[in-house]
Amino acid sequence: MNKKKVVLVVGAGDATGGAIAKRFAQEGFVACVTRRSADKLAPLVDSIRAQGGDAHGFACDARKEDEVIALIEQIESQIGPIEAFVFNIGANVPCSILEETARKYFKIWEMACFSGFLNAREVAKRMASRQRGTILFTGATAGLRGASGFAAFAGAKHGIRALAQSMARELGPMNIHVAHVVVDGAIDTDFIRDNFPEKYATKDADGILNPEHIADNYWYLHAQPRDAWTFELDLRPWSERW
């Protein structure tokens, strides 16, 4: 059976993750998208199909090893080989270190770092057997420096960046491109519009990131020839301080 290539987007929300899934679907990939609740994926799946693409939504708790293993097996056996994998879970929750709880700190790390390891490991096993593939991690400025009040998030994002670095060095010789994308700045989402209206007002001046433009860069990374692979790509509006 000649199965189509698959892109798996873990954390396919209404903005960045969804835009990435749509971008790969435009290139002929089957978009397999996950969230903890499958119902929330229906608009994205319907949108991709309405545009002539192919998409499937899956409910999966990315922190649960048995669910992740079952998900990868289902996609690989029933839909097609995962040629591109995108880990896009955030968990950006601010809190003073003086008030942070062990439970919440662990939960943020589990969502934004540990689940990245679980999913990437399972996908990497399949890619290694085929000697090809792309693994992309969505990072943040917190993965480069920890801001005041973001100890848990910074720890998780530093961890996912370190995971990406290690995987890139190990898997590169197997023809597997691993890259880490630093998304630095507000993204055009309902959350930013409703909670940070002053920031959202800079949209017309290109002051916030367009999810579709972020997605274009993920496709660019996947399409790179291996003699000029990028490991880390920074994306930020022209006006963002850094």
169-212 pLDDT per residue, tens: 999 999 999 999 999 888 988 888 888 899 999 999 999 999 99
Q: Where are the alpha helices (DSSP H) in 56-150?
A: 65-78, 102-109, 115-130
Q: What is the pLDDT of residues 97-130, one digit of tens each?
A: 999 999 999 999 999 999 999 999 999 999 999 9
The length of the chain in residues reads: 242
> Within a domain: residue 53?
yes
β partners of residue 58: 34
Q: Which two tokens stand for residue 78?
A: 């029933």
* Residue at 1 is within a domain: no
Give the CATH number of the domain where residue 105 resides.
3.40.50.720
Supply the range of the domain harboring residue 52: 6-235
Nearest alpha-carbon partner for 154 in 195, 94, 208, 104? 94
Calpha distance 31→18 (Å, rounded): 10
- In a domain, residue 82? The reply is yes
Task: Evaluate whether residue 241 is within a structural domain.
Answer: no
pLDDT at 1: 44
User: What average pLDDT does the segment 215-232 reach?
Assistant: 97
Q: What integer is the mean pLDDT of 77-83?
A: 96
Evaluate whether residue 242 is within a structural domain: no
Closest residue by Cα to residue 11 from 126, 108, 91: 91
pTM, to two decimals: 0.94
CB 14 within 8 A of CB 190: yes
Which pLDDT does position 185 carry in this prediction?
87
The total of structural domains in the chain comes to 1
